Structure 1
């Protein structure tokens, strides 16, 4: 988020809070307004920050475009919600969700790390299952 967008968001939130505190609505409505105007961090942004902080060998020459990498965690979560395994997701003939692009690739160990980071930010309820499966492979 750039500085101008952040300032505009804060000003909008402050205006909404000021208007809601002067209204005749119930305290429940005021609470809802305050809760909904609180900015929350996008899980995709959190994921990208963790990818950058991980310093993965596969991306020593630069991390792939955020838009490309951010597309994977929601797909992984959908597959996990449907009961699929990591092996199924990363099989190019089955799930086809191995983190690779047209101009970039990911080593297997780094792909596993990406998956763990994505599950933590997008669907943490699957973290234990994913970690268990990855550890069972002996490669993680």
Structure 2
């Protein structure tokens, strides 16, 4: 009787899709991936930076904005500071285009938003540098 109960339990579990090995044939649903550039542009829009308050559209063109964060991440990887990146004598990576500009206070915020979207491992470092300099 005990043997029959064990066989019945195993059969029930098999029919229910359970197994003692924890293996199932069900595939997890894919998680949507977000392009870091799109994430960055959306965060800039959501930030309502003063630099872009009077512009039409509300923020600079996305294709122009998206060019900056990868360069900022490269500079951070190379050991440079935010101050260096935004300096004309340093990295010359100040966020400005032909038809738009960014106030300095907003530039620091923009760098932080870009780092959050493109290279989040540097966020803590950037945030600390901005706090230490009094810019954040």
Query: What TM-score, normalized to structure 2?
Result: 0.74
* Number of corresponding residues: 111
Write the deviation string for residues 86-117 of structure 1: whole angstroms up to 9, x where unpaired. Answer: 11100012201010111111011111111111
Q: Structure 2: any 5+ residue segments left out of the alignment?
A: 1-22
Return the structure number with greater helix share.
Answer: 1
Structure 2: distance between partners of 1:108 and 1:67: 21
SS in 1 for 2:40: helix
Matched, 1:99 2:99: no
Bigger radius of gyration among the two: 2
Aligned counterpart, 1:120? 116
Query: What TM-score, normalized to structure 1?
Result: 0.72
Write the deviation string for residues 52-85 of structure 1: whole angstroms up to 9, x where unpaired. Answer: 0000000012210000000111000000011111
Aligned equivalent of 1:49, options 42, 48, 55:
42
Matched, 1:58 2:54: no
Structure 1: distance between partners of 2:74 and 2:68: 10
Q: What value does the CA root-mean-square deviation take over the aligned residues? A: 2.1
